[in-house]
């Protein structure tokens, strides 16, 4: 009952001993276990309403993990990386198995919808190591591109580092279609070596290392809602 914020633990014990508490219609006894949000707990016939504490975290997803809750093929999922979060959280959006970088996770459905809804217009920035003519590709990506029958418009694309066989592109998009960055690169004749999401809106990876996660600050939560 204390998890519901209804009474203190000591007061809960007093109410149970007084016979004023029921669990799933049966009179409660001290020491009995009940799961908040699953079992129906009443005090004097009034049902308690459980509100789970919202959790908001950011993960630096390493490659090799899939962005789903479970996988019937036995592949590693991002939930394994955040098992210490103290709550069951879910990915907000996706990064494919071979991509890495910033991934938001939460148990707050309204927050997730606010982040993913197209009206939010949150810019997502990626750094992509490629082989091929990266400079020409950046110029092409700054114009609308037809990707599988859809017109895709990158917010920006620039070559930030040259290599002998290609370079590193920084690409910003406002949409998040499936494998959009990889398809844009393929359209330009590039081969992607690594793909890292470095920011979503005003939130960046900072010093978070691959596989590490942390809770968002109230200010950071405010970036999205």
Q: Point out the residues that are catalytic.
A: 96
SS (H, E, C) the chain: CHHHCCCCHHHHHHHHHCCCEEECCEECCCCCCCCCCCCCEEECCEECCCCCCCCEEEEEECCCCECCCCCCCCCCEHHHHHHHHCCCCEEECCCCCCCEEEEEEECCHHHHHHHHCHHHCCCEEEEEEEECCHHHHHHHHCCCEEECCEEECCCEEEEEEECCCEEEEEEEECCCCCCHHHHHHHHCCCEEEEEEEEEECCEECCCCCCCCEEECCHHHHCCCC
Q: CA-CA distance, 204 to 103, in Å (whole number)?
A: 10
Q: How far apart are CA 96 and CA 106, in angstroms?
A: 18
For residue 100, count other CB atoms closer than 10 A to its CB: 22
């Amino acid at each position: 009952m204390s998890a519901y914020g209804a009474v203190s633990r000591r007061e809960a014990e007093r109410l149970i001993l007084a016979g004023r508490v029921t669990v799933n219609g049966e009179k409660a006894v001290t020491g009995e276990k009940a799961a908040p949000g699953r079992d129906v707990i009443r005090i004097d016939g009034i049902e308690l309403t459980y509100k789970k504490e919202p959790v908001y975290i950011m993960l630096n997803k390493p490659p090799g993990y899939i962005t789903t809750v479970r996988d019937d093929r036995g592949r590693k999922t991002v939930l394994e990386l955040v098992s210490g979060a103290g709550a069951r959280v879910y990915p907000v959006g996706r990064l494919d198995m071979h991509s890495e970088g910033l991934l938001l996770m939460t148990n707050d459905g309204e927050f997730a919808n606010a982040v993913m809804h197209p009206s939010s217009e949150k810019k997502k920035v990626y750094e992509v190591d490629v082989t091929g003519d990266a400079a020409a590709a950046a110029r092409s990506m700054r114009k609308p591109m037809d990707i599988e029958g859809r017109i895709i418009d990158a917010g920006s694309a620039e070559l930030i580092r040259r290599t002998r066989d290609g370079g590193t592109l920084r690409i910003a998009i406002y949409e998040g279609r499936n494998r959009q960055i990889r398809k844009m690169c393929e359209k330009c004749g590039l081969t992607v070596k690594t793909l890292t999401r470095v920011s979503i809106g005003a939130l960046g990876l900072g010093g978070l290392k691959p596989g590490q996660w942390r809770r968002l600050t109230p200010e950071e939560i405010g970036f999205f809602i």
